[in-house]
Amino acid sequence: MNQTLTNLFPRTARINARNHLAIAGCDVVDLAREFGTPLYIFDDAHLRARAAEIRDAFQSRWQNSLVLYATKAYYSPYIARVFKDAGLGIDVTSEGELEIARRVGLTPDKIYLHGNNKTPAEIHAALAQGVTHIVVDNLDEIELLARLADELRVTPRVLLRLAPAIDPHTHRYLATGIAESKFGLPMQTGIAMEAARRLAHYASRITLVGLHAHIGSQIFDLAPYRDTIAALTDFAAELKSAIGFELQELDLGGGWGVPYVEEQNALAVEDMAETIVSSFKFQIPSSKFKVQGSNLEPRTSNLEPETSNLKLVFEPGRALIASSAVAVYTVGAIKEIRDVRTYIAVDGGMGDNIRPALYGAQYTARVANKMNDAPTMRAAIAGRYCEQGDILINEVALPRVSAGDLIAIPTAGAYQIPMASNYNLIPRPAVIAARDGNARVIRRRETVEDMLRCDVDE
């Protein structure tokens, strides 16, 4: 029986003549032997194609669109170069992410600094690096930004991150635009308006150019995005009459859902872009703000790229990267608890993928060295870390598995490696990129020595 690969696997993934999973022409069993496990394998062609697809879907509908990669999903010099080559900007939240951008020579006008508690050092580092855009999250940040901008003699362009009280219908840990969120300026309580007034006070040092909202992650329903656009454009109109604000940039964050298991349907990039851009075009005439140089007629269809000066900004993280990687583990112990469940323990777990333990994220798996074998058992994939909650998958159908087999978990590109830890003092995995039959290390496996480097012993 030939069990074909689902589209959860990257585009170049195949089942080869040895009944093994292959990515970019590289046999995964050979890769595991060469680089060890746990191993994260990125499909370079998939990653680049995805970046181009998302960029083009927006730019073909709205010329002045900028896609920022949300670096928190996973950033490294390799990833930075791939997205830089694709013409994407980035959304950063730390000096570490800024440093990678600096090393690969990403132009600072494509960097947006985020964070709900930016430190003075981070803001200073960003402004000193020439970063032009700061996304303000709270009132306290405004005085700090004004002081640092004054010190460095720069005039940052600022967007207000708003909490528009929109429920994105996702896990509560992933809902970031609801009224009680720790992120953003609540619109309903007047705090967002207060922030705009304070910024207006510093107009000679800070230029308020836009509004931002990131309502959450793993969103499959497009309606919350439509509501967000309506809320933000209405607020822009309010700001226009209150303080004479001219909207120049509208940043809709990221959050586009990605399937992790077969039952979830992928959100088509074209649908996403069409919904967002057409909702935006629809809102322009209905709101009272003026967009410099734009055609204010409602545009209901995708005719030509819009030439307005208004910049539409998007910040997908997961949607750009999650599906480009597969995590591979070696099976060790197998524990059958009669009438309860069978645990297949692997050599990784919550140390390289905290998502199932953190918010019940679901995954699926295949046996990379038995790809076409029919499933005969249902089992849990257990991690090796000292927590009962360290279960990567609660239940998955697999062929008969024995020690030494390789478990491949797709959709491993986002929020796994960057959230990895050294819990139990276990080194973090190696990451490789495969292309055209070759694979190269983009992050070497950590050693015990690496882990102990920061400890001080008298």
Ligand X SMILES: Cc1ncc(COP(=O)(O)O)c(C=O)c1O
Instruction: Return the active site residues.
Output: 386
**Do the beta carbons of residue 323 and residue 410 sit within 8 Å?**
yes
Question: According to the binding rule CB under 6 A, does residue 88 interact with ligand X?
Answer: no
Which one of residues 89, 177, 224, 254 is an interface residue with ligand X (CB under 6 A)? 254
Smaller CB separation from ligand X, 21 or 73: 73
- Footprint of ligand X on 304-333 (CB under 6 A): 315-319
Stretches 70-78, 196-204, 362-370, 422-430: which one binds ligand X (CB under 6 A)? Answer: 70-78
One residue of 38, 224, 255, 259 binding ligand X per CB under 6 A: 255
Tokens of residue 405, six digits: 């087999």
Beta bridge partners of 115: none
Is residue 72 near ligand X by the rule CB under 6 A?
A: yes
Of 162 and 284, which has the nearer Cβ to ligand X? 162
Q: Minimum distance from CB of 243 to ligand X (Å)?
A: 24
Alpha carbons within 13 angstroms on the beta-carbon side of residue 79 total 28
Crossing angle of helices 44-59 and 269-286, in 10° steps, is 20
Determine the interface stretch with ligand X among 254-262, 278-286, 385-393, 404-412 (rule: CB under 6 A): 254-262
Q: Tell me how many residues contact ligand X (CB under 6 A).
A: 16
Query: What tokens were used for 155?
Result: 């005039």
Backbone angles phi, psi at 306, to 5 degrees: -70, 140
Asked if 355 interacts with ligand X (CB under 6 A), we say no
Find residue 440's DSSP bridge partners.
433
Minimum distance of ligand X from residue 458's CB (angstroms): 41
Q: Which is nearer to ligand X, 156 or 254 (CB)?
A: 254
Q: Are 352 and 428 in contact (CB under 8 A)?
A: yes
CB of 258: closest distance to ligand X in angstroms?
A: 8
Q: Which is nearer to ligand X, 253 or 429 (CB)?
A: 253
Nearer to ligand X among residue 214 and residue 370 (C-beta): 214
Stretch that binds ligand X, among 9-17, 31-39, 56-64, 248-256 (CB under 6 A): 248-256
How many whole angstroms separate alpha carbon 80 and alpha carbon 87? 11
- 217 lies in the binding site for ligand X (CB under 6 A): yes
Report yes or no: 353 and 392 within 8 Å, Cβ to Cβ. yes
Chain position carrying tokens 């309580």: 189
Nearer to ligand X, 67 or 393 (CB): 67
- For ligand X, the closer of residues 318 and 443 by Cβ is 318
C-beta of 114: minimal distance to ligand X in Å? 5
| Nearest distance in Å: CB 423, ligand X | 22
Please select the residue that binds ligand X; options are 38, 177, 253, 349, rule is CB under 6 A.
Answer: 253
Taking the complex as a whole, the smallest distance from the CB of residue 189 to ligand X amounts, in Å, to 20
91 binds ligand X (CB under 6 A): yes
C-alpha dihedral, 76 to 77 to 83 to 88, nearest 10°: 90
Residues between 103 and 132 that touch ligand X (CB under 6 A) = 114
Compute the least distance from the CB of residue 73 to ligand X, in Å. 5
Question: Given the rule CB under 6 A, which residues bind ligand X?
Answer: 70, 72-73, 91, 114, 214, 217, 253-256, 315-319
